[in-house]
Structure 1
């Protein structure tokens, strides 16, 4: 049995009389040989690069390649009149690969002999052998990874980098700093192991610690709790490098032993080996382990030993060519400024990721909710104390704990304390419907609730734990929690009116955090989420922020929906990263211009982003990054993202799948839809949740086996969203397959709203349609058929009825009464198109008497009527109780400002919520204006004619 030959990394081609018959420079128009085309494409799929070393004129040769559509297959093209051996050497150097991995094919035996004599490491082949090359063992990698198909793209990006470097006016260090390098280190998945093994056989030995593993070894190690197989991906402003690093570590007692680390030779000039090592050292230290390393000396890898020594490792013992190195804890290498290292969060390491920054920045403010704050030390102590009280109350991994608190610092720390106890938080504010709460407590098997002070309105079977109660001894927190254990529960509307409970696992949450790669170099990051804790969107920047030592800001209950309060909170904390829904961001944007110098990135999610919001953002915050993120709760917050750099002409794309996720646009037969063709969007990957609590049939209906991955047991989630994937791979959202819509960031099923309306004794049938008003905010119109011999109930009555079973965002904005819900003739289905057209029409106001109202009150009533779409209100009704919301408050303020400038500030409208109060304030402001005018001392100029 002979040894396997060294694999070929690059095949260098002669062109004339090799790729085709004839000489292009002599005006021949030869067609490429079919055998050459076949070998080019087969080897390219295997990740083997192609290059050209040929005689002739460069422009003529590349033009001919381009005409036949194969220019892009070549990662380097050298055409001229020099020696072929010189060209082959230059190609190997430009690609950063060893000559012993290069092959050369040419029809001319003299040219082959010249290359073989000058470069004996290069294997040479005659043109007659082209058809058989794909079958030769040196051209058949032992493993062929998915990444292999992109290797040519990686080298093309490298050519662009080299061009940029040659044109760069500054120093080499300045150029490195300009690349915006990001190194992402993560645990290898089953799909990564082929690439991990490929790195061990393809990487030049000077970049490795010397140990090797075969594919079976790596698979076995990745399944062992003692070992970690880590891979590192690299990208910069020119594009992706792909997976370029590998590390294998073992936990041995109190040591973390680095058994293997290597970096691809493609990135030797990028200076990422040192940061990679420093990350591994810090990872071990954070876990309370001593970093050690084993090194196997080879003739070529001395440079790696030097790298280890510079990183702080010292030789502790030697055994022949094997060295044992120990890291010196006093050695603190300075951070590398030109590369940002992003680590993976695992389910097992979730508490460490979220609370571990206490060891680095204990006195930095960690969390802010309204006017209250905690440092990282205080957050650590508070959540640990609550976790112990919960464990003492019987909470165990896998259980669900109700956090029955309004949006506040207490609610936030309660949720994190529940997670620290190994359980799952479920936040429900005290004004939650009692009937819905009871149903969900039963469905979730919830037995414990966290409260602050006396509890009221809770189901009797719940044991309560007071946030501020004394700690009952030192109950031990769980040492390990299964990665499949739930981390939190989020409820979404259901078709029966009872919310569905989505179970999000610890592994899902960890994967979501890992997928975040927001830039936070320079200064201390501050995140601001203008969102409710009831919706998981707040985790988008908040959870990531905790893992990088950021200060993380949220509004309290008093500030929610109050644009003035939210902008004041943002101005106070000056965030670097902000998350919001598009509707809320539209309102916040004018008040954020004072943050131009600090606000680095805005991430929007929860609704489709109108192009007008992008345009306004670019106008007011031109230097701030803008990301459109997409993802249902069933895929853990967001899993698709698009970096919006320009104002789009059409819909704002939702982008491409984030790291660890997959997005498929499929036809009804679950086949990939053709580019630019609508299909249904399915999501796969590590963020897809286990399913719905106590709803196995519903879970089975939308969580399906994923046929597009080799992972056993992998599933994908059917979103019900219509999407189009462009030829560039970017996805656009094109609405819903069913009736589910997003209203102010909350997912609402229209059928659920209809079900609640139809429980009203006067409503026989209801149809709910979403529509975008003049402010682009999505609202609901309910078309109702009343029961026989019944008068239509007033709007206030229907609003009050809906409030008992629906979240505020699901309450219809308008109510229309029709004799029958229209049916489409062709399909015999409900004619939603007709209803949508009616929803956009101005409502016909019912005549109403305003006898006894002042003139100002009647003017206000006319404004209210236009905004609310109905007349069913009295002088003493609260605007928010009869159909108003925070967005309409802003529109109300604009209307009042146009009629009575300066009379009422927008923030006061949350307190001056009635017509009576607003009229009194307007009249008082007018009287003050008159007195100020009468008291003003005339000046001579005032009497000039």
Structure 2
């Protein structure tokens, strides 16, 4: 079984059923198969072979899904590229992935020109929109939908081993260089098989496709939908800036499943975009990628009592998600974070100490993941792979592997895992060790706070790291009121020293809160205040 087989089986069983929808465009399963077969044949004719990589510079639209399936049918792995990324970042990813070909939509020609310049390749601005060309051996090209509608072609039908890569997903690296995570067919299939069973996905389902295609959450949307023979409704990126338009999309498309990062849900709650008992067709709402503030979750659960709410947890390196927690009822205490739950089938969550030994229930430890979802590692980077994927200490000779998530967690007496934040979000301020996630949970529970994030900024001296709070709040809600509200829930040494009121928190390309950007804002604020103090001091000195 390979990833592309799900759509092929659906085409055999229900060829006329809608597979993909976006705007006014509809693509039936039979059309998806025909178009991807034709493109796969053309890829093979142009030299794409088993084990190659093919870069996809295609915005989220049905043609991108066709291209993904075509690459898989040619025996290659696809590398989804963010069409909105600057040429410099695209250049780094392409240089690392070394694709044998790039596929792009015609309007991406400008991006390709910039990319060609970064890679010292010939310019491609003159490339025709209806064919692929290689300029002086450079595998650059543009595909248009009309090219796929050419006379019928037979897909090469290359069958790779499920352990071979299906795609490479590049995530941000701490050094500034993107890291390529290798995702195999088997890894995705294992999660999809579990998810379809767990959520009861069926052919009549209408499923959202909200995340960008270079983000691993989109993998779940695509392949779980096709595994069930259901409909995938791709959410136009433009709707993400309009919470009421998102709500209207869910309502008018009669979606049965919504899946996104929590920031989207927080944004919609902030503008009260969801009506009471809204979305009657919606059966389940899932989130993953970051913490959903409990007050926001409660807001949604009160609005939609007919919906099943599930928290998914897992890094890209472990394929989409490794654990799940479905809420049995509205949380009674809005100050407590939602658990990340128990492991998905074939996965394990391990909370270990510094010697890689299990910690007792209730104690805090480092969170590791084992099981079928683990990636082989980072693309052509053995050093990073060895640092993150460790020998399993429970197996003779460490034959198995565990992945170091970098997160802190604890297991309760019922075996449920609770996420406590990033290990690197534990700071030392005024001599105290503090978990920033605890402050963030308390601030999220304050009435009037619609969205917030806590970051640490090096302040030097005894203070060590300054606790900085960025927030979006109702009118009239300022730092004095927030500090007073937090004082009743937190000790004084955990109260934020710096505050930043914003209309909206910055988000990264995957829709998560952009904490590095917030740190930069606070650093700039710190520098401005220091300069102002110096100027005042200089003025006083001159006046003497």
Question: Deviation of residue 880 (structure 1)?
Answer: 9.2
Out of 430, 435, 438, which is 2:83 matched to? 430
The match for 2:228 is 548
C-alpha distance in 1, partners of 2:246/2:34?
28
Distance 1:592 1:520, change over 3 A: farther
Distance 1:691 1:839, change over 3 A: same
Say which one has the larger Rg: 1
Out of 799, 822, 825, which is 2:460 matched to? 822
Question: Deviation of residue 730 (structure 1)?
Answer: 0.5
SS in 1 for 2:241: coil
Structure having greater relative contact order (Cα 8 Å, sep ≥ 6): 2
C-alpha distance in 1, partners of 2:183/2:202?
33
Out of 96, 106, 113, which is 1:456 matched to? 113
Segments of 4+ moved more than 4 angstroms: 470-473, 592-596, 709-713, 770-776, 778-783, 837-844, 885-888
C-alpha distance in 2, partners of 1:711/1:685?
17
Q: Is the 8 A contact 1:386 1:467 kept in 2?
A: no
Q: Is the 8 A contact 2:506 2:513 kept in 1?
A: no
C-alpha distance in 2, partners of 1:567/1:599?
12
C-alpha distance in 1, partners of 2:139/2:73?
20
Distance 1:592 1:585, change over 3 A: farther
- 1:598-636, Cα deviation, whole Å (9 max, x unpaired): 211111111112221231122111121111000000000
The normalised TM-score by structure 2 is 0.73
Unaligned runs of 5+ in 1: 1-347, 741-769, 784-819, 826-830, 845-864, 870-878, 889-945
Out of 387, 390, 406, which is 2:43 matched to? 390
- 1:18-49, Cα deviation, whole Å (9 max, x unpaired): xxxxxxxxxxxxxxxxxxxxxxxxxxxxxxxx
The match for 2:209 is 529
- 1:552-594, Cα deviation, whole Å (9 max, x unpaired): 1121233343323322222222111111122212344643656
- 1:203-256, Cα deviation, whole Å (9 max, x unpaired): xxxxxxxxxxxxxxxxxxxxxxxxxxxxxxxxxxxxxxxxxxxxxxxxxxxxxx
Distance 1:571 1:390, change over 3 A: same
C-alpha distance in 2, partners of 1:657/1:711?
25
C-alpha distance in 2, partners of 1:475/1:522?
30
Out of 573, 584, 609, which is 2:264 matched to? 584
The match for 1:796 is none
Distance 1:448 1:592, change over 3 A: farther
Unaligned runs of 5+ in 2: 122-137, 427-438, 481-499, 515-544
Q: Is the 8 A contact 1:370 1:569 kept in 2?
A: no
C-alpha distance in 1, partners of 2:275/2:398?
47
Out of 300, 303, 308, which is 1:620 matched to? 303
- 1:539 equivalent to 2:213? Answer no
Out of 95, 99, 112, which is 1:446 matched to? 99
**Alignment coverage as a number of residue pairs:** 439
- 1:692 equivalent to 2:378? Answer yes
Distance 1:671 1:651, change over 3 A: same
The match for 1:735 is 421
Q: Is the 8 A contact 2:347 2:372 kept in 1?
A: yes
Out of 231, 253, 260, which is 1:573 matched to? 253
The match for 1:466 is 143
The match for 2:312 is 629
Root mean square deviation, CA, Å: 3.4
SS in 2 for 1:691: coil
Q: Is the 8 A contact 1:691 1:703 kept in 2?
A: yes
SS in 2 for 1:477: coil
Distance 1:839 1:588, change over 3 A: closer
The match for 1:598 is 281
- 1:651 equivalent to 2:337? Answer yes
SS in 2 for 1:738: helix
C-alpha distance in 1, partners of 2:310/2:140?
42
Q: Is the 8 A contact 1:409 1:556 kept in 2?
A: no
C-alpha distance in 1, partners of 2:397/2:311?
29
Distance 1:430 1:735, change over 3 A: same
Q: Is the 8 A contact 2:59 2:82 kept in 1?
A: yes
Question: Deviation of residue 734 (structure 1)?
Answer: 0.1
Distance 1:866 1:659, change over 3 A: closer
Out of 465, 468, 485, which is 1:836 matched to? 468
C-alpha distance in 2, partners of 1:526/1:428?
26
C-alpha distance in 1, partners of 2:202/2:65?
28
Q: Is the 8 A contact 1:486 1:503 kept in 2?
A: yes
The match for 1:724 is 410
SS in 1 for 2:407: strand
Distance 1:697 1:385, change over 3 A: same
Q: Is the 8 A contact 1:596 1:623 kept in 2?
A: no
The match for 2:541 is none
Question: Deviation of residue 353 (structure 1)?
Answer: 2.1
The match for 2:175 is 496
- 1:358-387, Cα deviation, whole Å (9 max, x unpaired): 111111111123332211111111222222
The match for 2:451 is 777
The match for 1:507 is 186
The match for 1:378 is 31
The match for 1:672 is 358
Q: Is the 8 A contact 1:574 1:595 kept in 2?
A: no
Q: Is the 8 A contact 1:392 1:475 kept in 2?
A: no
- 1:283-321, Cα deviation, whole Å (9 max, x unpaired): xxxxxxxxxxxxxxxxxxxxxxxxxxxxxxxxxxxxxxx
Q: How does 1:51-200 map to 2 (within 5 A)?
A: none
